[in-house]
Structure 1
Amino acid sequence: MREVMPQLSRWLVEGTPFALATVVGVRGSAPREPGAVMAVGATGEAVGSVSGGCVEGAVYEAATAVLETVLPQLETYGISDEEAFSAGLTCGGTIEVLIQRFDPASLIGQVFASLEREEPVAVATVIGGRAPLGAQCYVWEDRVRGSLGDGGLDAAVTADARGLLAQGMTGTAERYGPHGQRRMDDVEVFVQSFAPPPRMLVFGAIDFASAVAGIGTFLGYRVTVCDARPVFATAKRFPKAHEVVCAWPHEYLAGTEVDERTVICVLTHDPKFDVPLLVAALRTPAAYIGVMGSRRTHDDRVAQLREEGVTDGELARLAAPIGLDLGARTPEETAVSIAAEIIQRRWAGTGLPLGRLTGDIHRHTVTPPRQHARR
């Protein structure tokens, strides 16, 4: 949603209706995750993608029909021997796509406004069962707008949506029975949550930090570069970082927000900075703590950390030396290596070449789409 939001916001301001196609279910080796969107404006312009190109033409046709009829549609796209010459995913997976029309007066404008302010918000949409297809409610931490048609269902979905926002998760389908009770039938709801971007904290204002900040921004992190040396910690040297802070690293870390999605990259490889910083970092719930330096440097660092009372279990959290073995040499190549390790740890990948593996290329943990014929 975020990547197409500027265009959608312009359409709303211009008074242009649009149809929004959202991936709400995935099975097999599908190219896009649940939550991926494609939008078609009343002028015929299209933005976004739900499949990387495989079925965009068919989705475009369905979206133009929804613009005319105003009735939401739930479409399933896959590929089989019987469908060999119809629109389908060449990778062999299956995606389920909900297509809805939005007009300028729609509440979705409030969602866009929240995204611009980085205010957490979730959108819950009925995608199956007895409730009206496409019925929506919008959930913030302090308010709810819209309804799925039942007070008990609204309450249950609101609680679940706020739980997803707290975890920074999105793209999940849940089934609810009468009055919001959990069941395997009745109403199926897709909840898409939009939490603020996760943080990347880069310590050490060196050339490698500039490259890491750039790739961190590219991956969707809100990047902060921190260094105690004012001559190096300048915004001019790190144009792709969201903020540059001049402070002692451990003092800054102790006073800033760190959650389970935060990644920390320690690139200073100087004990007077590293040791107190790592002691503080290992007391946070950060998802990733990577440390630059040679193996000998790290061995010396570990000895000093042990003297500070750091345990073996805490030391096991460190990714050191930082990054995957890609043979990187330049700062830019090293940044790719670091980004690859962050991604690998986030999604529990093997780090091996895909050509040496078998099974699905894209692994999904969300509820798969239901089996029904594509309309």
Structure 2
Amino acid sequence: MTRHWIDQLRHSLRSGPCVVVTITGVRGSAPRETGSHMLITDGRQWGSIGGGNLEHQSTAQARDLLASRQEDHACEHKFGLGPALNQCCGGSVTVLFELFCEPRYEWLERCSEHAPGEVLLTTFHGGKADKWCQDAAAAWPQAVPGPVQKYFRQQLNEQSFAVFSSDGQTYFAEDLRPRKVPLALFGAGHVAQALVPLLDQQPFELHWTDSRSDLFPPGVKDFAQVHQVADPVGVVRIMPPGTAYLVMTHSHELDEDICDAILQREDIAWLGLIGSETKRRRFEHRLAAKGHTSKSLERLVSPVGLAGIRGKRPATIAVTILAQLLRDCVPEQWR
């Protein structure tokens, strides 16, 4: 399971100090977006701010900060990605380094509770960063001025990280609510078995359905909601609006029943059906006989997977399906 950086920081501080490295500004082309995090301890690194010389230099600076033991110190550094770092991106990146030495922090404990609507607020000035974690709808701390609060509330409707600078002080707001697309996967055969581990690393809230309990691998419930039910069609009715559906059961008859139930909903984000062009044509004919219009049937994507990548190995098919899901279902800022 992919660990959120908040959880990773809490875990790392049990063993000693840790530096959190965060991209707080990007101009031009850069390998990662604002809000990307990397954690550095004496012996380990977690996460990435884009690799290359930028990450190499940032890691070295973080280790220098660790060695200094300047408790709760914070500093910003601007990196040019052209001649200075010999990277071809050509833009510039501002990076915030924060050293945490204590095993527990009030804001961190609150963040780790994962209450809905959480926002992490940071004020940075003069080598010190103060943090608050709270419900986005609640009153924000007075240390964050009203105009800044208004700006953040607007920005966090569309993105997960926002920055505001004024009078030598910088403010950061990070929306900690998981931004994931609900994905209902029907079937636990070979392709699904190859696909599910890849989904763990991506912004999907996975619901995995099959009637056979022995096919779900150990540990899958750590990152997926498993529905081991005799009637998979019933799962369609409980899925939230905006769900993407992927159908690949062991039975064509069951596939048809599931697709029929999905197409009766007007609020689906996407519907993919594994199979050939022949299977698609047969399904369109049968589903039309059940009352589905041609416009409704246009929502059925089959075959699934990016065109142009041929192969019948489950691992290959899984990669092409994941790429298609990311392209068609996930907003760019969530990827």
- The TM-score, its normalising length taken from structure 1, stands at 0.70
Correspondence for 2:272 among 287, 290, 302: 290
Q: How far apart, CA to CA, are the structure 1 residues paired with 2:8 and 2:144?
A: 30
Q: Which has the higher contact order (CA 8 A, sep 6+)?
A: 1
Please name the residue that 2:194 is paired with: 211
Please name the residue that 2:297 is paired with: 315
Q: How far apart, CA to CA, are the structure 2 residues paired with 1:311 and 1:172?
A: 44
- Report the CA distance shift for 1:21/1:254 in structure 2 as closer, same or farther (over 3 A): same
Q: Unaligned stretches of 5+ in structure 1?
A: 178-184, 349-362, 366-375
CA contact (8 A) 1:39 1:47 kept: yes
Please name the residue that 1:37 is paired with: 37
Corresponding position: 1:122 with 2:119: yes
Corresponding position: 1:75 with 2:77: yes
CA contact (8 A) 2:181 2:330 kept: no
- Report the CA distance shift for 1:237/1:127 in structure 2 as closer, same or farther (over 3 A): same
Please name the residue that 2:20 is paired with: 20
Please name the residue that 1:180 is paired with: none
Q: How far apart, CA to CA, are the structure 1 residues paired with 2:127 and 2:70?
A: 19
How is 1:117-196 mapped onto 2 (pairs within 5 angstroms)? Answer: 119-126=116-123, 134-140=129-135, 143=138, 146=141, 148-151=143-146, 153-154=148-149, 157-158=152-153, 161=156, 163=157, 169-173=159-163, 175=164, 189-196=171-178
Q: How far apart, CA to CA, are the structure 1 residues paired with 2:122 and 2:298?
A: 41
How is 1:1-375 mapped onto 2 (pairs within 5 angstroms)? Answer: 2=3, 4-5=5-6, 7-14=8-15, 16-41=16-41, 43=42, 45-63=44-62, 64-65=64-65, 68=70, 70-80=72-82, 84=83, 86-87=84-85, 89-104=87-102, 105-110=104-109, 112-115=111-114, 119-126=116-123, 134-140=129-135, 143=138, 146=141, 148-151=143-146, 153-154=148-149, 157-158=152-153, 161=156, 163=157, 169-173=159-163, 175=164, 189-196=171-178, 197-219=180-202, 221-227=204-210, 229=211, 233-239=212-218, 241-242=220-221, 243-256=226-239, 258-260=240-242, 262-268=243-249, 270=251, 272-282=253-263, 283=265, 285-325=267-307, 326-346=309-329
Q: How far apart, CA to CA, are the structure 1 residues paired with 2:288 and 2:147?
A: 53
Report the aligned-residue RMSD: 3.8
- Report the CA distance shift for 1:29/1:315 in structure 2 as closer, same or farther (over 3 A): farther
Q: How far apart, CA to CA, are the structure 2 residues paired with 1:186 and 1:73?
A: 13
* Alignment coverage as a number of residue pairs: 323
Q: How far apart, CA to CA, are the structure 2 residues paired with 1:187 and 1:286?
A: 44
C-alpha deviation, 1:284, in angstroms: 5.6
CA contact (8 A) 1:217 1:241 kept: no
- Report the CA distance shift for 1:214/1:364 in structure 2 as closer, same or farther (over 3 A): closer
Q: How far apart, CA to CA, are the structure 2 residues paired with 1:50 and 1:200?
A: 27
Q: Unaligned stretches of 5+ in structure 2?
A: none
- The TM-score, its normalising length taken from structure 2, stands at 0.77
C-alpha deviation, 1:298, in angstroms: 1.0
Please name the residue that 1:352 is paired with: none
Q: How far apart, CA to CA, are the structure 2 residues paired with 1:211 and 1:44?
A: 32
C-alpha deviation, 1:149, in angstroms: 3.0
C-alpha deviation, 1:23, in angstroms: 1.3
